[in-house]
Structure 1
Amino acid sequence: MDSVLTSIGLPVALGIIMFGLGLSLTPGDFSRIAKHPKAVVVALLCQIVALPALCLALVLLFRLPPVLAVGMMLLAASPGGTTANLYSHLFRGDVALNISLTAINSVLAVVTLPLITNLAIGYFLPGNDELGLQLAKTVEVFVIVLIPVALGMLVRWWRSGFADRMDKPVRIASVVILVIVIAGAIVANRELLLENAGRLAGITITFCLLSLTVGYLVPRLLRVNRTQAVASSFEIGIHNATLAIVIAQTVIGSVEMSLPAAVYGVLMFFIALAFGFLIRERGRAETDAAAIAVPTMRGAAQPPGG
């Protein structure tokens, strides 16, 4: 059962998820960087540079065993997914920006994911060359990540009406599949998971919270508007756990390396939901403060006796 799940079930599940992502994309989603360059560049720098550095610091702080440490770095290198788009829509983020970021991140991940994973393996597991993502395995990553997305985009171009009708069902199916994949990974590896549950829960919760916070606060500090910051937060804070699990188990061949993504995949739903309500309340407070400030400024601007 475990072998069937790993060799067939996981790649098929990820393929459906990535195909569903492709159904929602158009070439214009890749060109949107020209319309919102600041928001896109800030979010990508947070995703590609800040998060791996943050994850490395957490791995060292929590003193994870080497294989689990590499699993965390693999998770950090994984792009966002359709779940980020759903959360962004729920909490009034710029969903169009989310779609663009997911599209661009998925392409960049073909390079950044193997690079970060290989650096992590070299640092934490020196001498284990068989675990690395060399050229042949990098090609596998390319096939797993981009081919289903490209097929989905082709279907949208060929039958846009069908793609629109299928968008919502495939999104719902993607979330259901994500839950099933993570549950399957946990059940199949429950003994390993129980041995490391405490340390993995602590680091994955911390990583998810910090990712969401960095994704929101850094754009805001750099004067990116609030709806784009919300989109950035969920894109950066919600990683494609299914991709990390598939890469770990089927491409690299390490079940233990997939455990951080499996634990993260369960907890991030609740953490992201709580974070969404938090930033929504913060947004309301900012709006109220601005509404109070405008009449006050107008009153102060009037001349005495005016």
Structure 2
Amino acid sequence: MDSWLTTVGLPIALAIIMLGLGLGLSIADFRRIATYPLLMLIALVCQVVVLPGVCFGLVLAFGLEPDLAVGMMLLAASPGGTTANLYSHLFGGHVAVNITLTAVNSVLAVVTLPVVVNLSTGYFQPDSQSVGLQVDKVLQVFAIVLIPVALGMLIRSRFTRFADRLAKPVKIVSAVVLVAVITGAILNERANLADYFLAVGAVVLVFNLISLAIGYGAPRLAGMGKPESIAAGMEIGIHNSTLAIAIAVSPALLDNTRIAIPAAVYGIVMFFTAAGFGYLVTRRKAPADEGTRADHPTTALS
């Protein structure tokens, strides 16, 4: 179910892209995060508490079978991944906020993910075993996100003009890589797509749309700027489906390929929903947000 493209190719590609993101960041960008404590709190509460609750309600409403129900809950409990950072970058989100949220969520997931999954298996599959989070997967997220970004920031601090010249080409390359990944994922899973989508396509789509709406809407209602809200929306709306699949199929953990089906479907659906979401929230620029946008190094696609 999970291909070389997603397990090896995508992490490598995203690591290169994150290097490019780091070229546009400085220490000052991360200092500004301290001015958004409410945003950080809202995003984390949505990710850790609200979304698992929403997902549980959807699972019951759609009447999913136990394996698929647990798979949905596993997906909901998975933290955001590097793809969220990429989409935020492409659509004008505050990338520094994304990077921080990804790091914090990955740490929290060491505790929250096993709790959510164990409660879910206890409810839907009373006879199943408990699960612990793979520490190496958490470290992988840190490696893919933080190390390339830190390297990019180091380059920017020493060769500012060079970093500025690379900003636009890197954004173009990012978009090209994303299209290649989408195409490869579809081609790789074409034989199973119909069965997967019939089983969980509807609930996955609804959950993804709700996640994006909550992630963006909650900060906006709290008075946050558009770049910060886009960052939160992408981080909360795009879960790490590769991590969820790894936990589902690992013989040492859940060892159940059917539990991985929701994450596999989600891994394809979210590429399109996230792109549509990014287009909708960036097609109009509110005057009040222009000043905030100028305070960080990303701009929306035009």
Band of TM-score, shorter chain: 0.7 to 0.9
Partner of 1:275: 277
SS at match of 1:252: coil
Aligned residues: 271
- Does structure 1 residue 219 correspond to structure 2 residue 216? no
Deviations along 1:158-210, whole A, 9 cap, x unmatched? 79449x89x9599679847964885587357x2xx644522411111101111
Counterparts of 1:118 and 1:13, CA distance in 2: 31
SS at match of 1:230: helix
**TM-score, structure 2 normalization:** 0.74
Contact preservation (8 Å) 1:15, 1:144: no
Partner of 1:143: 136
The residue type equivalent to 1:126 in the other structure is P
Contact preservation (8 Å) 1:20, 1:149: no
Partner of 2:66: 66
Give matches, 1:124-203, under 5 Å: 124-129=124-129, 132-134=130-132, 138=133, 141-147=134-140, 149-150=142-143, 153=146, 160-161=154-155, 175=178, 179=182, 182-183=185-186, 186=189, 190=192, 194-203=194-203
Contact preservation (8 Å) 1:204, 1:260: yes
Q: More helix per residue: 1 or 2?
A: 1
Partner of 1:258: 260
Cα separation, partners in 2 of 1:275 and 1:18, compared to 1, 3 Å: closer
Cα separation, partners in 2 of 1:145 and 1:11, compared to 1, 3 Å: farther
Can you give the 5+ residue segments of structure 2 that lack an aligned partner in the other structure? 157-162, 291-302
**TM-score, structure 1 normalization:** 0.73
Q: Compare 230-239 and 177-186 and name the one that shifted more.
A: 177-186
Identity across matched positions, percent: 42
Counterparts of 2:254 and 2:274, CA distance in 1: 29
Give matches, 1:1-306, under 5 Å: 12=8, 16=12, 34-129=34-129, 132-134=130-132, 138=133, 141-147=134-140, 149-150=142-143, 153=146, 160-161=154-155, 175=178, 179=182, 182-183=185-186, 186=189, 190=192, 194-250=194-250, 251-281=253-283, 283-284=284-285, 286-287=286-287
Contact preservation (8 Å) 1:14, 1:243: no
Cα separation, partners in 2 of 1:154 and 1:249, compared to 1, 3 Å: same
The residue type equivalent to 2:275 in the other structure is L
Contact preservation (8 Å) 2:33, 2:96: no
SS at match of 2:189: helix
